Amino acid sequence: MRRRPLFGLLCAAAATPGAAQTPRAMPLRRVGALLALSQEDAEARARIAAFRAELEKRGWREGRNLHVEYRWAAADPHLASRHVSELVQQQPDVIFAAPTSMAAAVHRETRSIPVVFAQVADPVTEGLVASLSQPGGNITGFSHFEFGIGAKWLEVLKDIAPNVERVAVLYDPANRASMGYLPSMETAARALALDIMASPVRDDTEIARVTDALARDGNGGLVLIPGPLIGVRHRQIIALSTRQRLPNLFSFRYYPQDGGLASYGVDLVDLYRHAAGYVDRILRGARPADLPVQGPTRYELVINAKAAMALGLSLSPTLMARADEIIE
């Protein structure tokens, strides 16, 4: 396996002199953490492990001077709503929320409790902050995409699978942010001579219906818009696309790690680590309004060579040289 160094975030503002030192004697501080995936999800556990490790590195030790109340929504909007209400009622010192759907839900419930988000697409358009440089309220954090990246997803899929002519763009209609990617994808599709089908899916049955139709028509491919539903069901989607020989592009590297064809996106584990830095700063007295929203300066292309072979795709030396990681 080959992997280049991962992208760097604009993290100069996140560094705090002496942050690794244990805070002076103070009352136990409380953090609420609202996550969209399931606690059993290995990727979700890896992200939170990085978040916790960074807090400990900065002197915050759970059970000693910090209590973190973790809530897992498991892609269930009703469960997420209940978790938000419970966390807000507890009045923690900071709430950490990820991804966009969780951050938006918290933002609707409180404009006083400091909130740090991660994995949010276009927080200005979402109405979470006034601007990236001056958030202006009780919420700030780390974004992972601008909606224009949708065009790049189509370009990458076409580079990997040149014979693809039709692309189904799977997204969860309950996740409002998902639809923000579609305009740039529609524009890119015309330039790439691709027919794209915006395909809202809510469950396994609807996912199977879309992939069955795509496979039946031939020369089809899939682009998966990130969101809790896609994250929870990614293994089913990978299994379907492999069986039906549909090239597929996801947004995060753990998808090709689990057998998907490829991904183009950011390192979420690193993103959560940096978000912990903002939680630390707020616990030490910083205001979210003064902490600029930060975003990635680099994206990574990950390709699963075994999946490509199973789909009958030949990876050119140029394409393999472009990849940040080739999973053998």
Give residue 314's Cα distance to chain centre.
29
Residue 13 has pLDDT above 80, yes or no: no
My answer on whether 53 and 89 are in the same domain is yes
pLDDT at 290 over 70: yes
Bridge partners (DSSP) listed for residue 166: 195, 220
Task: Clarify whether residues 98 and 228 are in a common domain.
Answer: no
Q: Report H helices in the chain.
A: 42-57, 77-90, 100-109, 149-160, 182-191, 204-217, 228-232, 234-243, 254-257, 268-283, 305-310, 317-322
Q: Average pLDDT in the 202-212 region?
A: 94
Q: Is residue 295 part of a domain?
A: no
Note whether residue 245 is domain-resident.
yes
3-state class (DSSP) for residue 216: helix
If asked whether residues 105 and 237 sit together in one domain, one would say no
**Is the pLDDT score of 308 beyond 90?**
yes
CATH of the domain at 33: 3.40.50.2300
139 and 233: one domain? no
Query: What pTM did the predictor assign?
Result: 0.85
Residue 26: pLDDT band (50, 70, 90) is: low
Q: How confident is residue 9, by pLDDT bands cut at 50, 70 and 90?
A: very low
Q: How far is CA 250 from CA 242, 258, 303, in A?
A: 14, 11, 10
| Residue 16 pLDDT exceeds 50 | no
Q: Please, are residues 229 and 201 in contact by the beta-carbon 8 Å criterion?
A: yes
Would 280 be classed as within a structural domain? yes
One domain, residues 187 and 105 = no
Asked whether residue 18 is domain-assigned, the answer is yes
For the stretch 263-287, pLDDT in tens is: 999 999 999 999 999 999 999 999 9
The answer to the question of residue 40 being in a domain is yes
Residues 194 and 133 placed together within one structural domain of the fold: no
| Residues 189, 304 within the same domain | yes
Q: With cut-offs at 50, 70 and 90, classify the pLDDT of residue 24.
A: low
Q: Are residues 6 and 123 in the same domain?
A: yes
Residue 162 sits in the same domain as residue 91: no
Asked if 83 and 215 sit in the same domain, the reply is no
pLDDT band at 118 (very low <50, low <70, confident <90, very high): very high
Q: Does any domain span residue 209? A: yes
Q: How many domains does the chain have?
A: 2
pLDDT of residue 17: 44
Q: Nearest to residue 191, comparing CAs of 158, 237, 223, 169?
A: 158
For residue 27, the model assigns a pLDDT of: 78
Domain co-membership, 155 together with 166:
yes
In a shared domain, residues 34 and 158: no
CA-CA distance, 261 to 327, in Å (whole number)?
Answer: 10
DSSP code of residue 118 = E
Confidence of residue 7 (pLDDT cuts 50, 70, 90): very low
- Across the range 135-142, mean pLDDT stands at 96
The mean pLDDT of the chain is: 91
Does some domain include residue 279?
Answer: yes
| pLDDT tens, residue by residue, 31-66 | 999 999 999 989 999 999 999 999 999 999 999 999
Amino acid at 108: R
Q: Which domain holds residue 181?
A: 149-265+300-327
